[in-house]
Protein backbone atom coordinates (compact mmCIF):
# COMPACT_ATOMS: atom_id res chain seq x y z
CA UNK A 1 0.00 0.00 0.00
CA UNK A 2 1.43 3.41 -0.95
CA UNK A 3 1.46 6.19 1.64
CA UNK A 4 1.92 9.84 0.62
CA UNK A 5 4.45 11.16 3.11
CA UNK A 6 3.63 14.82 2.49
CA UNK A 7 0.04 14.19 3.53
CA UNK A 8 0.89 12.12 6.60
CA UNK A 9 3.90 14.00 7.98
CA UNK A 10 3.88 15.90 11.25
CA UNK A 11 7.58 16.85 11.18
CA UNK A 12 9.59 19.26 9.08
CA UNK A 13 10.01 18.37 5.42
CA UNK A 14 13.81 18.50 5.67
CA UNK A 15 13.66 15.74 8.30
CA UNK A 16 11.43 13.52 6.19
CA UNK A 17 12.59 10.22 4.70
CA UNK A 18 13.83 10.28 1.13
CA UNK A 19 10.73 8.53 -0.20
CA UNK A 20 7.99 10.90 -1.43
CA UNK A 21 5.60 7.97 -1.54
CA UNK A 22 6.32 5.23 0.93
CA UNK A 23 5.06 1.76 -0.01
CA UNK A 24 4.52 -1.36 2.07
CA UNK A 25 3.56 -4.73 0.60
CA UNK A 26 0.60 -6.86 1.66
CA UNK A 27 2.67 -8.33 4.51
CA UNK A 28 3.58 -4.89 5.84
CA UNK A 29 7.16 -5.05 4.58
CA UNK A 30 9.12 -2.61 2.44
CA UNK A 31 9.09 -4.21 -1.05
CA UNK A 32 12.21 -5.77 -2.53
CA UNK A 33 13.07 -8.11 -5.38
CA UNK A 34 14.47 -11.55 -4.77
CA UNK A 35 14.37 -13.96 -1.87
CA UNK A 36 15.36 -13.69 1.77
CA UNK A 37 15.28 -17.38 2.84
CA UNK A 38 14.18 -16.59 6.38
CA UNK A 39 11.02 -14.87 5.13
CA UNK A 40 9.98 -17.67 2.81
CA UNK A 41 10.83 -20.68 4.98
CA UNK A 42 8.09 -22.51 6.92
CA UNK A 43 9.77 -21.38 10.14
CA UNK A 44 10.65 -17.69 10.26
CA UNK A 45 13.02 -18.13 13.19
CA UNK A 46 16.37 -19.86 12.87
CA UNK A 47 19.67 -20.07 14.69
CA UNK A 48 23.25 -21.04 13.99
CA UNK A 49 25.43 -22.32 16.82
CA UNK A 50 28.99 -20.98 16.82
CA UNK A 51 28.47 -18.65 13.88
CA UNK A 52 31.12 -16.47 15.52
CA UNK A 53 34.33 -18.36 16.41
CA UNK A 54 35.55 -18.55 20.01
CA UNK A 55 38.57 -16.44 19.11
CA UNK A 56 36.17 -13.51 18.67
CA UNK A 57 33.68 -14.17 21.47
CA UNK A 58 36.55 -14.25 24.00
CA UNK A 59 38.59 -11.43 22.47
CA UNK A 60 39.16 -8.76 25.14
CA UNK A 61 39.27 -5.91 22.61
CA UNK A 62 35.99 -6.93 21.02
CA UNK A 63 34.32 -7.34 24.43
CA UNK A 64 35.54 -3.85 25.31
CA UNK A 65 33.97 -2.53 22.11
CA UNK A 66 30.60 -4.17 22.84
CA UNK A 67 30.37 -2.24 26.07
CA UNK A 68 31.69 0.98 24.58
CA UNK A 69 29.06 0.85 21.83
CA UNK A 70 26.38 0.51 24.48
CA UNK A 71 27.75 3.40 26.53
CA UNK A 72 27.57 5.56 23.39
CA UNK A 73 23.79 5.15 23.56
CA UNK A 74 23.44 5.88 27.28
CA UNK A 75 21.12 8.66 28.36
CA UNK A 76 20.87 10.33 31.74
CA UNK A 77 17.59 8.78 32.76
CA UNK A 78 17.97 6.51 35.75
CA UNK A 79 20.23 4.01 34.06
CA UNK A 80 18.05 3.65 30.99
CA UNK A 81 19.24 3.16 27.42
CA UNK A 82 17.68 4.74 24.37
CA UNK A 83 15.96 2.35 22.00
CA UNK A 84 15.77 4.92 19.21
CA UNK A 85 19.49 5.68 18.86
CA UNK A 86 21.20 2.97 16.86
CA UNK A 87 24.16 2.82 14.49
CA UNK A 88 23.98 2.55 10.71
CA UNK A 89 26.32 0.63 8.44
CA UNK A 90 25.34 1.52 4.86
CA UNK A 91 25.41 -1.09 2.13
CA UNK A 92 27.01 1.31 -0.32
CA UNK A 93 29.78 2.78 1.83
CA UNK A 94 32.92 3.46 -0.18
CA UNK A 95 34.98 3.26 3.00
CA UNK A 96 35.74 -0.07 4.70
CA UNK A 97 34.27 -0.68 8.16
CA UNK A 98 36.13 1.28 10.81
CA UNK A 99 36.23 -1.53 13.36
CA UNK A 100 35.14 -5.09 14.03
CA UNK A 101 31.54 -4.36 15.06
CA UNK A 102 30.87 -2.47 11.85
CA UNK A 103 32.45 -5.36 9.93
CA UNK A 104 30.19 -7.82 11.74
CA UNK A 105 27.11 -5.74 10.89
CA UNK A 106 28.10 -5.59 7.24
CA UNK A 107 28.76 -9.35 7.13
CA UNK A 108 25.30 -10.05 8.55
CA UNK A 109 23.67 -7.72 6.02
CA UNK A 110 25.52 -9.31 3.09
CA UNK A 111 24.51 -12.80 4.18
CA UNK A 112 20.78 -12.09 4.28
CA UNK A 113 20.76 -9.78 1.25
CA UNK A 114 22.88 -11.97 -1.03
CA UNK A 115 19.92 -13.15 -3.17
CA UNK A 116 18.08 -9.83 -3.17
CA UNK A 117 18.02 -6.85 -5.52
CA UNK A 118 17.96 -3.63 -3.51
CA UNK A 119 18.86 0.03 -3.69
CA UNK A 120 22.27 0.27 -1.99
CA UNK A 121 21.72 4.00 -1.35
CA UNK A 122 18.84 3.18 1.02
CA UNK A 123 19.86 -0.25 2.38
CA UNK A 124 22.15 -1.44 5.13
CA UNK A 125 22.54 -2.78 8.66
CA UNK A 126 21.21 -1.10 11.79
CA UNK A 127 23.20 -2.27 14.81
CA UNK A 128 23.64 -1.77 18.54
CA UNK A 129 24.84 -3.74 21.56
CA UNK A 130 23.61 -4.83 24.98
CA UNK A 131 25.97 -5.57 27.88
CA UNK A 132 23.73 -5.98 30.91
CA UNK A 133 23.47 -7.87 34.17
CA UNK A 134 22.18 -11.33 33.31
CA UNK A 135 19.26 -10.79 35.72
CA UNK A 136 17.94 -7.80 33.79
CA UNK A 137 15.17 -7.68 31.22
CA UNK A 138 14.88 -6.69 27.59
CA UNK A 139 11.37 -5.25 27.48
CA UNK A 140 8.64 -6.50 25.18
CA UNK A 141 8.86 -4.64 21.87
CA UNK A 142 8.73 -4.62 18.10
CA UNK A 143 11.84 -3.50 16.20
CA UNK A 144 10.83 -0.65 13.92
CA UNK A 145 11.81 2.71 12.49
CA UNK A 146 10.71 4.88 15.39
CA UNK A 147 11.11 8.04 13.31
CA UNK A 148 8.27 6.86 11.08
CA UNK A 149 5.85 7.04 14.01
CA UNK A 150 5.55 10.77 13.26
CA UNK A 151 4.01 9.72 9.95
CA UNK A 152 1.66 7.26 11.63
CA UNK A 153 3.41 4.18 10.23
CA UNK A 154 4.91 1.03 11.71
CA UNK A 155 7.90 0.14 9.52
CA UNK A 156 9.89 -2.94 10.50
CA UNK A 157 13.25 -4.35 9.38
CA UNK A 158 13.22 -7.31 7.04
CA UNK A 159 15.36 -9.46 9.33
CA UNK A 160 16.20 -9.03 13.01
CA UNK A 161 19.23 -10.82 14.47
CA UNK A 162 20.88 -11.45 17.82
CA UNK A 163 24.50 -12.63 18.06
CA UNK A 164 25.49 -13.77 21.54
CA UNK A 165 28.87 -13.06 23.12
CA UNK A 166 28.18 -14.82 26.43
CA UNK A 167 26.69 -18.03 27.81
CA UNK A 168 24.64 -16.32 30.51
CA UNK A 169 21.36 -14.51 30.88
CA UNK A 170 17.73 -14.62 29.91
CA UNK A 171 16.55 -16.40 26.77
CA UNK A 172 15.42 -14.34 23.82
CA UNK A 173 11.68 -14.95 23.37
CA UNK A 174 10.29 -14.46 19.87
CA UNK A 175 6.58 -14.78 19.18
CA UNK A 176 5.20 -14.87 15.61
CA UNK A 177 2.86 -11.95 16.14
CA UNK A 178 3.01 -8.73 14.10
CA UNK A 179 1.59 -5.25 14.55
CA UNK A 180 -0.61 -3.42 12.08
CA UNK A 181 0.79 -0.91 9.61
CA UNK A 182 -0.63 2.18 11.34
CA UNK A 183 1.11 3.53 14.43
CA UNK A 184 -1.13 3.51 17.47
CA UNK A 185 -3.57 0.88 16.26
CA UNK A 186 -4.44 -2.04 18.50
CA UNK A 187 -1.56 -4.56 18.43
CA UNK A 188 -3.41 -7.09 20.59
CA UNK A 189 -3.44 -10.66 19.40
CA UNK A 190 -2.44 -14.24 20.09
CA UNK A 191 -0.04 -16.88 18.82
CA UNK A 192 0.19 -20.66 19.06
CA UNK A 193 3.84 -20.83 20.06
CA UNK A 194 6.90 -19.00 21.36
CA UNK A 195 10.54 -19.46 20.37
CA UNK A 196 13.21 -19.56 23.08
CA UNK A 197 16.90 -18.97 22.40
CA UNK A 198 19.23 -19.19 25.39
CA UNK A 199 22.54 -17.30 25.17
CA UNK A 200 25.51 -19.29 23.94
CA UNK A 201 28.72 -17.53 22.96
CA UNK A 202 28.99 -17.53 19.18
CA UNK A 203 25.34 -18.33 18.50
CA UNK A 204 23.46 -16.26 15.94
CA UNK A 205 19.66 -15.99 16.02
CA UNK A 206 17.62 -14.55 13.15
CA UNK A 207 13.89 -13.96 12.80
CA UNK A 208 11.28 -12.05 10.85
CA UNK A 209 11.86 -8.41 11.73
CA UNK A 210 8.13 -7.82 12.30
CA UNK A 211 7.87 -10.26 15.23
CA UNK A 212 7.36 -9.16 18.83
CA UNK A 213 10.14 -10.24 21.19
CA UNK A 214 11.64 -9.82 24.65
CA UNK A 215 13.92 -11.37 27.27
CA UNK A 216 12.91 -11.76 30.90
CA UNK A 217 15.56 -12.09 33.60
CA UNK A 218 13.05 -14.11 35.60
CA UNK A 219 13.57 -16.93 33.09
CA UNK A 220 17.36 -17.09 33.27
CA UNK A 221 18.71 -20.40 34.59
CA UNK A 222 19.42 -19.95 38.33
CA UNK A 223 23.10 -20.85 37.96
CA UNK A 224 23.76 -18.00 35.50
CA UNK A 225 25.79 -15.06 36.79
CA UNK A 226 27.70 -12.19 35.26
CA UNK A 227 26.95 -10.26 32.09
CA UNK A 228 24.67 -10.94 29.15
CA UNK A 229 26.41 -9.68 26.00
CA UNK A 230 24.63 -9.42 22.66
CA UNK A 231 25.17 -7.78 19.29
CA UNK A 232 21.89 -6.76 17.67
CA UNK A 233 21.69 -6.19 13.92
CA UNK A 234 18.68 -5.50 11.73
CA UNK A 235 18.72 -5.89 7.97
CA UNK A 236 16.96 -3.10 6.08
CA UNK A 237 16.29 -3.25 2.35
CA UNK A 238 15.35 -0.08 0.45
CA UNK A 239 14.95 1.98 3.61
CA UNK A 240 17.25 3.62 6.14
CA UNK A 241 15.71 4.08 9.61
CA UNK A 242 15.48 7.76 10.43
CA UNK A 243 17.11 7.66 13.87
CA UNK A 244 20.05 5.46 12.92
CA UNK A 245 23.39 7.15 12.23
CA UNK A 246 26.98 5.99 11.70
CA UNK A 247 28.90 5.72 14.95
CA UNK A 248 30.35 9.13 15.92
CA UNK A 249 34.09 9.56 15.40
CA UNK A 250 34.65 10.14 19.13
CA UNK A 251 33.62 6.53 19.75
CA UNK A 252 35.09 5.11 16.56
CA UNK A 253 38.51 6.29 17.70
CA UNK A 254 38.11 4.45 21.02
CA UNK A 255 37.26 1.10 19.45
CA UNK A 256 40.06 -1.40 20.05
CA UNK A 257 39.24 -4.28 17.69
CA UNK A 258 40.32 -2.88 14.33
CA UNK A 259 40.40 -6.05 12.26
CA UNK A 260 37.65 -5.81 9.68
CA UNK A 261 38.03 -9.06 7.75
CA UNK A 262 36.04 -11.10 10.31
CA UNK A 263 37.53 -14.43 9.26
CA UNK A 264 35.70 -17.52 10.42
CA UNK A 265 32.14 -16.20 10.39
CA UNK A 266 29.61 -18.72 9.16
CA UNK A 267 25.92 -17.82 9.08
CA UNK A 268 25.05 -20.31 6.37
CA UNK A 269 23.95 -23.44 8.26
CA UNK A 270 20.70 -22.19 9.77
CA UNK A 271 18.73 -24.62 11.91
CA UNK A 272 15.02 -24.53 12.56
CA UNK A 273 13.63 -25.00 16.07
CA UNK A 274 13.14 -28.13 18.13
CA UNK A 275 9.41 -28.27 18.86
CA UNK A 276 8.52 -29.03 22.49
CA UNK A 277 5.01 -29.49 23.89
CA UNK A 278 4.79 -27.24 26.95
CA UNK A 279 1.06 -27.61 27.51
CA UNK A 280 0.00 -28.13 31.10
CA UNK A 281 -2.26 -26.78 33.82
CA UNK A 282 -2.91 -23.09 33.30
CA UNK A 283 -2.47 -22.31 37.01
CA UNK A 284 0.09 -19.50 37.00
CA UNK A 285 0.68 -18.00 33.52
CA UNK A 286 3.93 -16.12 33.04
CA UNK A 287 3.39 -12.44 32.21
CA UNK A 288 5.55 -9.46 31.33
CA UNK A 289 4.19 -5.94 31.62
CA UNK A 290 5.35 -3.20 29.29
CA UNK A 291 4.47 0.19 27.82
CA UNK A 292 4.20 0.61 24.06
CA UNK A 293 2.71 3.45 22.02
CA UNK A 294 1.80 5.26 25.26
CA UNK A 295 -0.36 2.35 26.42
CA UNK A 296 0.18 -0.33 29.03
CA UNK A 297 0.47 -3.84 27.68
CA UNK A 298 0.76 -7.43 28.87
CA UNK A 299 2.60 -10.32 27.24
CA UNK A 300 1.41 -13.63 28.67
CA UNK A 301 2.71 -17.15 28.12
CA UNK A 302 0.07 -19.68 29.22
CA UNK A 303 2.21 -21.69 31.67
CA UNK A 304 4.31 -20.77 34.68
CA UNK A 305 7.88 -19.48 34.61
CA UNK A 306 9.35 -22.67 36.12
CA UNK A 307 7.42 -24.75 33.59
CA UNK A 308 8.75 -22.62 30.73
CA UNK A 309 12.32 -22.94 31.97
CA UNK A 310 11.95 -26.69 32.42
CA UNK A 311 10.47 -27.11 28.94
CA UNK A 312 12.98 -24.94 27.06
CA UNK A 313 16.34 -25.14 28.84
CA UNK A 314 18.75 -27.72 27.47
CA UNK A 315 16.37 -28.89 24.75
CA UNK A 316 18.30 -27.55 21.79
CA UNK A 317 19.89 -24.59 20.09
CA UNK A 318 16.48 -23.08 19.43
CA UNK A 319 13.23 -24.32 20.99
CA UNK A 320 9.69 -23.66 19.83
CA UNK A 321 7.25 -24.16 22.70
CA UNK A 322 3.66 -25.08 21.88
CA UNK A 323 0.85 -24.96 24.41
CA UNK A 324 -1.90 -27.27 23.17
CA UNK A 325 -5.19 -25.38 22.96
CA UNK A 326 -3.77 -22.41 24.89
CA UNK A 327 -2.33 -19.28 23.33
CA UNK A 328 0.34 -16.69 23.87
CA UNK A 329 -1.62 -13.48 24.48
CA UNK A 330 -0.49 -9.92 23.73
CA UNK A 331 -2.90 -7.28 25.03
CA UNK A 332 -2.88 -3.51 24.56
CA UNK A 333 -4.32 -2.00 27.72
CA UNK A 334 -5.14 1.40 29.10
CA UNK A 335 -3.45 4.60 28.07
CA UNK A 336 -0.57 5.71 30.26
CA UNK A 337 -1.51 8.51 32.64
CA UNK A 338 1.05 11.30 32.65
CA UNK A 339 3.30 11.11 35.69
CA UNK A 340 2.61 7.50 36.60
CA UNK A 341 5.46 5.03 36.98
CA UNK A 342 6.18 3.29 33.66
CA UNK A 343 7.68 -0.18 33.95
CA UNK A 344 8.90 -0.45 30.37
CA UNK A 345 8.57 1.76 27.34
CA UNK A 346 9.45 0.36 23.95
CA UNK A 347 9.47 3.87 22.49
CA UNK A 348 12.23 5.13 24.77
CA UNK A 349 13.75 2.46 26.98
CA UNK A 350 14.91 -1.01 26.14
CA UNK A 351 16.68 -2.10 29.29
CA UNK A 352 16.10 -1.38 32.94
CA UNK A 353 19.42 -1.84 34.72
CA UNK A 354 19.78 -2.78 38.36
CA UNK A 355 16.18 -3.89 38.50
CA UNK A 356 16.76 -7.04 40.55
CA UNK A 357 16.80 -6.50 44.31
CA UNK A 358 19.61 -8.85 45.31
CA UNK A 359 23.14 -8.58 46.61
CA UNK A 360 24.56 -10.59 43.72
CA UNK A 361 27.35 -8.74 41.91
CA UNK A 362 28.66 -9.15 38.41
CA UNK A 363 31.54 -11.56 38.22
CA UNK A 364 33.29 -9.46 35.63
CA UNK A 365 33.54 -5.95 34.33
CA UNK A 366 34.20 -5.00 30.74
CA UNK A 367 35.68 -1.74 29.49
DSSP 153-178: B----SEEEEEES-S-SPPEEEES--
CA dihedral 71→72→75→80, nearest 10 degrees, is -40
Q: Given a cut of 60, is residue 288 above it in pLDDT?
A: yes
Q: Given a cut of 60, is residue 276 above it in pLDDT?
A: yes
Average pLDDT value for residue range 23-49: 87
**pLDDT > 90: percent of the chain:** 66
Q: Given a cut of 50, is residue 330 above it in pLDDT?
A: yes
Residues 6+ apart with CB under 8 A from 170: 134, 136, 137, 138, 199, 215, 216, 217, 218, 219, 220, 228
Q: Given a cut of 50, is residue 187 above it in pLDDT?
A: yes
Q: Given a cut of 50, is residue 185 above it in pLDDT?
A: yes
Average pLDDT value for residue range 267-290: 89
Q: What is the pLDDT of residue 357?
A: 39
Single out the residue of 189, 124, 158 nearest to residue 32, CA to CA. Answer: 158
Average pLDDT value for residue range 162-188: 95
Q: Are strands 193-197 and 137-141 parallel, antiparallel or unpaired?
A: unpaired
**pLDDT > 70: percent of the chain:** 83
How far apart are the C-alpha atoms of 61 and 98, rounded to whole Å? 14
Residues 6+ apart with CB under 8 A from 257: 59, 61, 62, 64, 65, 99, 100, 101
Q: Given a cut of 90, is residue 364 above it in pLDDT?
A: no
Q: Given a cut of 50, is residue 136 above it in pLDDT?
A: yes
Furthest-apart CA atoms within the chain: distance in Å: 58
Q: What angle do CA 258, 263, 266 make, to 5 degrees?
A: 130
Amino acid sequence: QPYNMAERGSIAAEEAPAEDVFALDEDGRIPFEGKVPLLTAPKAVSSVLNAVPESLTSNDDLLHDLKLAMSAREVEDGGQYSLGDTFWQPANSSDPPGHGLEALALAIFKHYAKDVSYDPEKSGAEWWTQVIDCRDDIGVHFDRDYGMEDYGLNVHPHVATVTYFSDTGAPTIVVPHVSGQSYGEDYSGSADSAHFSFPSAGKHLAFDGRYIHAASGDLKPPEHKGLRRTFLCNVWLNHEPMNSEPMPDEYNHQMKYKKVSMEGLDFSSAQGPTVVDASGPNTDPFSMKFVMDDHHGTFTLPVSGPALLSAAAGKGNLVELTFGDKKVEIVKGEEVVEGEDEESDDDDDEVSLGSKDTDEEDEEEVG
